[in-house]
Structure 1
């Protein structure tokens, strides 16, 4: 079975998408403040690792769980559903800009913006 990771183009495609995604995020006035004091090299790698796992590129993920990784952002910085939606929108726009088909973007959205992920990120 071909994974979403493979359909998207594997490591090179995920790396490029994550790098372009964070370029967009860091220009987005709705959410860029959440990354003001973040080591973006590490952040990009965490995101690449997570998406590789989430899209079926590996069965191992050694990163923190979503709830734990975002807890301080919710409690101390007011991370909300509006912010989650902005991140999801930026991801979809990035994939569109990179020429990813609507069908594959829908598969990505079903995983990345899934209700269970939203609840975990927002600590609900």
Structure 2
């Protein structure tokens, strides 16, 4: 039996790596007409900071997260703007592509994907 001694956050490269992922990820998102409208009027600098903090928490780099719950943070997007599985899949696609572009190992990409898939129902309020 293999015991992991480091978090996904550490195995991805820590703070610097996660910030690089977030920056490149949002460049892709903002070019995608399927999902970029969800960010109209959003302060993207703050969004990037918030996303990096969320991923740090989600990937085990911090035991503290100050933001809203996933359900509450996305509730209006679901009700007012129709955030759906199609949009979630587009986000998933961009995150995986970003990780591949940054030469992240496939096993880590799979772990990130599993992590993301586990929160789908909370984001989409299902």
TM range, smaller chain: over 0.9
Name the residue aligned to 2:121: 119
For residues 75-106 of structure 1, give each alpha carbon's deviation from its aligned partner in whole angstroms, at most 9, with x where no partner exists.
10010000001001100000000100111100
Question: In structure 2, what is the Cα distance between the partners aligned to 1:91 and 1:13?
Answer: 13
Bigger Rg over Cα = 2
Shift of 1:113: 2.0
Aligned residues between the structures: 122
Question: Normalising to structure 2: TM-score of the pair?
Answer: 0.95
Structure 1 alignment gaps of length 5 or more:
none
CA distance in 1 between partners of 2:117 and 2:45 (Å): 23
| Runs of 4+ residues deviating >2 angstroms | none
Aligned to 1:37: 41
Question: Equivalent residue for 1:3?
Answer: 7
Instruction: Give the RMSD, CA atoms, in angstroms.
Output: 0.6
> 2:57 is matched with which residue?
53
TM-score by length of 1: 0.96
Match of 2:95 among 91, 96, 119: 91
* Cα deviation digits, residues 47-83 of structure 1 (max 9, x gap): 0011000001011111110000000000100100000
